[in-house]
Structure 1
Amino acid sequence: MRVMIAGSSGLIGTSLVPHLRHSGHEVLRLVRRAPRAPDERGWDPPAGRLQDGALDGVDAVINLCGVGIGDRRWSGARKQALKDSRVEPTEVLAAAVAAHQVPALINASGINYYGDTGEREVDESAPRGRGFLAELCEDWEAATTAAQPTSRVVRLRSGAVLSASGGLLGRLRPVFRLMLGGRIGTGRQYLPWISLDDEVGAIAFLLEHPEVSGPVNLVGPEPITNAQFTEALGRTLGRPTPLPVPAVALKAVLGEAAEELVLTGPRAVPAVLQRTGYRFQHTTVTEALSATT
């Protein structure tokens, strides 16, 4: 297949590009600067423009665009940036996919679509939850609407991606190595996770399985709480985890972001991936964490 990727320079994209090429796909990359390599094509999302011929012969577009959710406190301006960096590029790509009749659009979204579900297990049939992130995910997914009459649209509801090169573990590993790690708040909230290998593997699987469309939970098959994740990470790193982080302290640092990102979470399961035959490389969080050390 000839595949176009937007957001190829991020944590997921930098692993997905070589994975797809190794599998025999031709990969092109959309960039917001002047193209400098044969595999690059230019685009300008605010202007609603793609380089002429960018989607010629393309079989699928994979959109991974979006600034970091947990990088800083959520001011009004930051919330707008989170939305603009996701919704606007998606609308531009969906319209282009429809105009060029590209067969498939595989678009990023987030597992926070479901909000906080407590002990209630949710799959892709569950309704949207409450909170800023749930509303953001809904708007993000709705931005694919223009492509739906002509193309297969897959919406990737990803959990926290566990990687040796960044993401959640990039922030946590130094703290745990200093023996300052511990559960957050009560520790009973669920933390949906997926290894980077499975995030990339699942996207490739969905690219190659045209029978799958709609929302797909990209999470590991073992739902775990924050306390269980903390214990597993401490065990993997050979460090004790004696210091719980009080919810009030985290809220003082991160504000509203703390409540939705780490103090609550959905107990989500990957029903679509399991039903359609995807084989996880890491079925437990311990396996996923061990692969990052």
Structure 2
Amino acid sequence: MRIFITGGTGLVGSRLIETLALQGHDITVLSRDVEKAKLKLGNKIEYCASLNTLQSLDEYDAIINLAGESIAGKRWTDQQKECLSKSRWKITEKLTQLIKVSENPPEVYISGSAIGYYGAQSDNIITEDSVPYDEFTYHLCRQWEDYALAAQSEQTRVCILRTSVVLSLNGGMLPKLLLPFRWGLGSVMGTGKQYFSWVHLEDMVNIIVFLLNHNDTKGVFNIASPNPVTNRQFSKVLAKQLNRPCFFRIPSFAISLLMGEASALILGSQRVVPQHLIKLGYKFRFETIDDALNDILRE
């Protein structure tokens, strides 16, 4: 297939490109800094410096849209919220516009979103049909998804990736946690009772490939292991894998004071299950947090 990818230099995008290239697909990556992208991704793929250089997406069979600034990097000031939103909305809307004006549009448009769509929901089990809570992350994800879903037609199916925390040593949350845990300073966050939904990077990539290759798939998909855990369970398993203690607890008020509204990423409880993927027969390689962390920490 001829595949156009945004967010290709990120944690998920770079691994996905490696997998797709090995499968023989022709890949074009959108990057504002082409030379920097080449250093990471190599010269065997094509590059596009701006969507404004494209008149349509006729020459591509598939679009995979993974672009967006990290939501966990900074406090959620009004300015940062606007930045987080625009980094997702503008590219997604532009891709949809290009699909709509294409005479021979791509067969599939796979676009990112996040389980932040649902908001914090205590210990309720969250499926793709769950009613969301009215929070910033809901509004961010809803508009993000709406821009992508507008591209759906008889010629183009749209798949939305409501992604949980992706676990890998190469980026994301896990490397930031390892240093204190390795020093024996691992901590439970808040009450520790809040649910934490996760997915191994390998499953994340495999799910995208699964959706790419199954022509009957469309709509919204929770990208999360079937077995979410509480923050306390996750912390204890990580400490055990590293053969370190986990005696400390950081109170909720301290996290809120440090992170402001963004503390919802840590203190909010999201017990997400991938109901649609399970019904389609996708088989997770890493279903439990023990197996996932054991595999990752052996790398």
TM-score over 0.5 for the alignment? yes
What amino acid maps onto 2:20 in structure 1?
L
Instruction: Report the residue type matching 1:186 in the other structure.
Output: T
Match of residue 219, structure 1, among 207, 221, 224: 224
Which is further off, 138-147 or 228-237? Answer: 138-147
Is the 1:116–1:130 Cα contact (8 Å) retained in structure 2? no
Q: Is the 8 A contact 1:220 1:283 kept in 2?
A: yes
Q: Aligned with 1:154: secondary structure?
A: strand
Alignment of 1:228-247 (within 5 A): 228-247=233-252
Deviations for 1:29-59, whole angstroms, at most 9, x for unmatched residues?
11224577563332435xxx14357x34311
Q: 1:51 aligns with which of 51, 54, 67?
A: 54
Q: Over the residues paired in the alignment, what is the CA RMSD in angstroms?
A: 1.6
Q: How many residues align?
A: 288
CA spacing shift, 1:159–1:253, aligned 2, 3 Å: same
Q: Percent identity?
A: 36
Superposed counterparts of 1:26-41, under 5 Å: 26-33=26-33, 37=43, 39-41=45-47
Name 2:10's counterpart in structure 1. 10
Residues 10-38 of structure 1, C-alpha deviations (whole Å, 9 max, x = no match): 00011000111222322221122457756
- Distance in 2, matches of 1:198 and 1:80, equals 31
Residue 110 and residue 268 in structure 1: after superposition, are their counterparts in 2 closer, same or farther (change >3 A)? same
Q: Which residue of 1 aligns with 2:68?
A: 66
Contact 1:28-1:39 at 8 Å conserved across structures = yes
Letter aligned with residue 171 of structure 1: K
Q: Is the 8 A contact 1:41 1:51 kept in 2?
A: no
- Kindly indicate whether the alpha-carbon contact (under 8 Å) linking 1:217 and 1:269 is maintained by their aligned counterparts in 2: yes
Match of 2:48 in 1: 42
Residues 15 and 200, structure 1, Cα contact 8 Å, conserved in 2:
yes
Matched, 1:91 2:93: yes
Q: Identify the residue that residue 24 of structure 2 maps to in structure 1.
A: 24
1:285 is aligned, of 289, 296, 299, to 289
Matched residue of 1:62: which SS? strand
Equivalent residue letter for 1:282 = F
Distance in 2 separating the partners of 1:213 and 1:56: 20
**What are structure 1's unaligned runs of at least 5 residues?**
none
Task: Give the one of 169, 174, 177 matched to 1:172.
Answer: 177
| Deviation by residue 1:186-243 (Cα, 9 ceiling, x = unmatched) | 1111111000000001111111111111110000011211111111111111111101
Q: Which runs of 5+ in 2 are unaligned?
A: none
Instruction: Indicate the SS of the match to 2:101.
Output: helix
Return the alpha-carbon distance in structure 1 between the equivalents of residues 285 and 149 of structure 2.
32
Q: How far off is 1:145 after superposition? A: 3.6
Q: Say whether 1:189 aligns with 2:194.
A: yes
Other-structure match for 1:113? 117
| Preserved CA contact (<8 Å) 1:17 1:27 | yes
2:13 partner amino acid: G
